[in-house]
Each structure stands twice: as C-alpha cells, then as structure tokens.
C-alpha cells in the first residue's frame, strides 16, 4: 500500500495525525485479537467436551437399540433453542441458554415402562447435539472475527505504520532541504549585495 502525500506542511500534519492514531489503536487491536484467540480456544474445548459426552450418550443409546423400534418419536420435538447475545472483545456472539422441548401428552399406562427413560435420553441426546452444533458455529464466527483482527494488526504493524513513518521522514527531509536551500540562497544574495556595495564605494 503506497501512501499518497505532498511535500508540504499540511500533508505532513495529516500524515502525523494518521500515524499517531494507528500507533495508539494498535495495542487495543492486539488485545482484541488475544481475547478472540482465547475465546476460540474455549469454544473448541467446549466442542471437544460435548463430543465426548455425545459419544458416551450414544453408547448408552446403542445398548437400548432393540427397544427404540417401539419408541414413538412424534411424542417429543424441539420447540425452541434459547440464545442470548453477548459482546466479546467488541464482537457480538451468541450465548447458548438451553433447548425447550414440546412433549405430546400420552398415557404412561399404554406405553412400555421404559418410555419415560427413553424421553429423558432423547432430550439429553438432542440437547447435547444442539449445544455441540451451537459451539461449532461459535468457533466459526469467533475464528472469522479473529482472522479479520489479525489482518488489521498486520496491516497496521507491517504496512501502514511503517508507510506513514517513511512518508513523514521524506517530507521532513524535503522541507529541511528546502529550508537549507532557502537559507543558502539568502546568504548568496546577501554576499552579492555586500560585494555590490563594496564595489560601488
């Protein structure tokens, strides 16, 4: 990225303002990146934890597999997944608050006695599966925000700050050279005037 500038004091002031703003913002952006990195790791750990719980519950489910042929799946369904929003390092992220189920009324006496345990197991499996998927999506969302923040850190640190610094240095050198030339020209004019006066006398 080339920084456009002119060799004058106005351009110098504008560049210095942009430079200072980026230098001040850089630590904040780095902190945001670190916070997002930590949150991504937490969400990934949660996915791994939920995977192991889901695996364990699936093993329990498989031990009753022969009975599941009798289970009426229309008796239970997911009604709602409760979510809230929370800002993490300036990024809006969803917070999982639970799953709400809708259970159709049925007669306990007309169904096998394990049906209530089956309902509990289905609820647990669905809850863990939904929560795991939620955290999977959260990892994607937070990782995207972290990558964008890392890009911004790199842009500021490796491109813009050095670019503005270089442009400021060039303008200052030009203005100093211009001032030195002006002083030299004034000295030459003065010495010529002095020589002229001496010649007249």
Q: How far apart are CA 84 and CA 82, in angstroms?
A: 7
Q: pLDDT confidence of 135, banded at 50, 70, 90?
A: very high
Does residue 152 lie within any of the structural domains?
Answer: yes
Q: Tell me the H-state helices in the chain.
A: 9-63, 115-154, 161-200
Distance CA 52, CA 63 (A): 17
Rg over CA atoms, the chain = 35
For 30-79, write each residue's pLDDT tens digit: 999 999 999 999 999 999 999 999 888 888 777 666 666 676 777 888 89
Domain count within the chain: 1
Q: What is the pLDDT of residues 62-121, one digit of tens each?
A: 766 666 667 677 788 889 999 999 998 888 888 999 999 988 887 777 777 777 777 888
Is residue 160 in some structural domain? yes
pTM of structure: 0.73
Report residue 29 CA to chain centroid gap.
9
Identify whether the C-beta of residue 160 lies closer than 8 Å to the C-beta of residue 22.
yes
Residue at 69 is within a domain: yes
Q: What is the CATH number of the domain that holds 115?
A: 1.10.287.3240
> What is the number of residues in the chain?
201
pLDDT band at 122 (very low <50, low <70, confident <90, very high): confident
Domain assignment present for residue 5? The answer is no
In a domain, 199, yes or no: no
Full domain range(s) for residue 115: 16-187
Please report whether residue 7 resides in a domain: no
Asked, for residue 126, whether it belongs to a domain, the answer is yes
The answer as to whether 26 is a domain residue is yes
């Amino acid at each position: 990225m080339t920084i456009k500038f002119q060799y004058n004091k106005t351009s110098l002031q504008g560049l210095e303002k942009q430079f200072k703003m980026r230098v001040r913002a850089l630590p904040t952006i780095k902190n945001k990146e670190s916070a997002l990195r930590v949150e991504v790791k937490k969400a990934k750990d949660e996915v791994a934890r939920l995977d192991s719980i889901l695996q364990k519950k699936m093993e329990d489910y498989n031990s009753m597999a022969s009975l599941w042929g009798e289970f009426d799946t229309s008796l239970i369904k997911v009604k709602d997944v409760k979510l809230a929003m929370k800002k993490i390092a300036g990024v809006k992220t969803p917070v999982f608050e639970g799953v709400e189920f809708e259970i159709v009324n049925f007669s306990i006496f007309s169904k096998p006695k394990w049906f209530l345990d089956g309902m509990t197991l289905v609820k647990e499996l669905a809850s863990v599966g939904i929560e795991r998927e939620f955290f999977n999506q959260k990892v994607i969302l937070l990782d995207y925000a972290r990558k964008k923040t890392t890009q911004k850190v790199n842009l500021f640190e490796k491109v813009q700050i050095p670019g503005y610094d270089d442009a400021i240095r060039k303008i200052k050198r030009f203005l100093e050279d211009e001032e030195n030339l002006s002083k030299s020209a004034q000295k030459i004019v003065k010495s010529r005037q002095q020589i002229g006066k001496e010649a007249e006398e």
